[in-house]
Amino acid sequence: MNASKPILDVRGLRTEFRKSRKTWFPVVNDVDFHVSAGETLAIVGESGCGKSMLAHSLLQLLPKRISRLAAGDIWLEGRNIAKLSEEQMRAVRGKDISMVFQEPMTSLNPLMKVGQQIAESIIEHEGCSHDEARRRSVALMDLVGIPEPAVRAGQYPFELSGGMRQRIVIAIALACRPKVLIADEPTTALDVTIQAQVLELIDRLKTEIGMGVILITHDLGVVAEWAQRVMVMYAGRKVEEADVETFFSGPKHPYSAALLASVPRPDAIINGGRVEPLTEITGTVPPMDQLGPGCSFADRCERSADICLAQQPQIEMLSNGARVACLRAGENA
């Protein structure tokens, strides 16, 4: 475990969406977590479990008309950014906390030269001259491993490959040396070889800049290789949090165990000499506005008992150091 003081500390975060005029339902519910400098926290879970909602909540990027930050604090180096105004929040976005999006094809402006797009972010936050911003954007492109950065800076996104574009997106995110980088499935749209390069790049820059990284993914292989800690989310709640070694040696929440069991394993096929069917988790994530009083995973859980349907499990620290929200986690399966 990283003993240093966390750079980002989120306490009891609850984000709600509007259901009708007066009623709201939570999409992120009572989530606590923290990230330290130089550390990567992976957030995993299926589609629709609230990972991206959580990321957008941190930056308050959700549309104000239909969503609200209902409760909780977001401490960024001793400052509670959950309480900031939109104007103050703008100064935080891209400067203190940056985000890398999933699709490098669409997250760049097609009509602006890539060097200019990096420079825009620098000018926005540091108000330096255009020449200075241009010089720095070329240096950033060099930092993220783009060959001939001065030439590439004058090119448009369509002239670059997917991997190069994602490097540009990362360069934009890192332009003002953020304290926290949120990478929302940064490699999902890239092929496997490029994926490793991009993740290695993020890992290297994390140490160089000394930032904390929140890596949102559903690829447990990526988690095992690049993260120090894992947080599993289900239906807007944190269900398990542990460091990577503890997590992969035996996840305690039935959902985490099921996620891990559903990872394709080529060796199992080869060793057994026959193709084994992939384990799947039956059912889907329940709609967030139709959650019952009990554990939201109960109806898909192999180990659910009557109590699971009636009572919401709280996060508890287990003997191996993992924090798990399951009423039956202490029992032996």
Partner 1 sequence: MLSNSAKPTLLRKILSTPTGAIGMALLTTVILLALFASVLFPEGPFEMVGAPFRPPFGEYLFGTDMLGRDIAAGIAYGARISLLVGAVATLVIVLLGTVVGGLAGYYGGWIDTAAMRVTEFFQTIPTFIGAIVIVAVLGPTLPNIIGAIAVVSWAPLARLVRAEVRSVKGREFVEACLSLGMGDMRILVVQILPNVLSTIVVAGSLMVATAILFEAGLSFLGLGDPNIMTWGFMIGAGRSAIRTAWWMVTIPGIAVLLTVLAINLIGDALNEALNPRAKR
Q: What are the DSSP calls for 111-176, one per residue?
A: TS-HHHHHHHHHHHHH---HHHHHHHHHHHHHHTT-SSHHHHTTS-GGGS-HHHHHHHHHHHHHTT
Q: Are 145 and 97 in contact (CB under 8 A)?
A: no
Shorter beta-carbon distance to partner 1: residue 42 or 169: 169
Helix (H) or strand (E) holding 220: helix 220-226
- The distance of closest approach from Cβ of residue 249 to partner 1 in the complex, given in angstroms and rounded to an integer, is 36
Q: Are 92 and 76 in contact (CB under 8 A)?
A: yes
- The distance of closest approach from Cβ of residue 263 to partner 1 in the complex, given in angstroms and rounded to an integer, is 28
Shorter beta-carbon distance to partner 1: residue 124 or 316: 124
- The distance of closest approach from Cβ of residue 87 to partner 1 in the complex, given in angstroms and rounded to an integer, is 9
Q: What's the length of the chain?
A: 333
Q: Are 239 and 253 in contact (CB under 8 A)?
A: yes
| CB neighbour list of residue 319: distance below 8 Å, 6 or more residues apart | none
- The distance of closest approach from Cβ of residue 176 to partner 1 in the complex, given in angstroms and rounded to an integer, is 9
- The distance of closest approach from Cβ of residue 167 to partner 1 in the complex, given in angstroms and rounded to an integer, is 14
- The distance of closest approach from Cβ of residue 300 to partner 1 in the complex, given in angstroms and rounded to an integer, is 31
Give the residues lining the site for partner 1 (CB under 8 A). 59, 61, 65, 89-95, 98-99, 101, 103, 106-112, 120-121, 124-125, 155, 159, 169, 172-173
- The distance of closest approach from Cβ of residue 84 to partner 1 in the complex, given in angstroms and rounded to an integer, is 12
DSSP-derived pairing of the beta strands 67-76 and 79-80: antiparallel
Which residues does residue 31 pair with via DSSP β-bridges, in sequence order?
13
Shorter beta-carbon distance to partner 1: residue 93 or 237: 93
Shorter beta-carbon distance to partner 1: residue 148 or 191: 148
Q: In what order do the strands lie in the sheet with 229-234?
A: 97-100, 180-184, 212-216, 40-44, 229-234, 237-243, 323-324, 316-317
Shorter beta-carbon distance to partner 1: residue 32 or 124: 124
**Sign of the alpha-carbon torsion through 65, 69, 75, 81:** positive
Within the chain, strands assigned E span 6-18, 24-36, 40-44, 67-76, 79-80, 97-100, 180-184, 212-216, 229-234, 237-243, 316-317, 323-324
For 140, the token pair is 């950033």
Shorter beta-carbon distance to partner 1: residue 90 or 135: 90
Shorter beta-carbon distance to partner 1: residue 100 or 285: 100
- The distance of closest approach from Cβ of residue 110 to partner 1 in the complex, given in angstroms and rounded to an integer, is 7
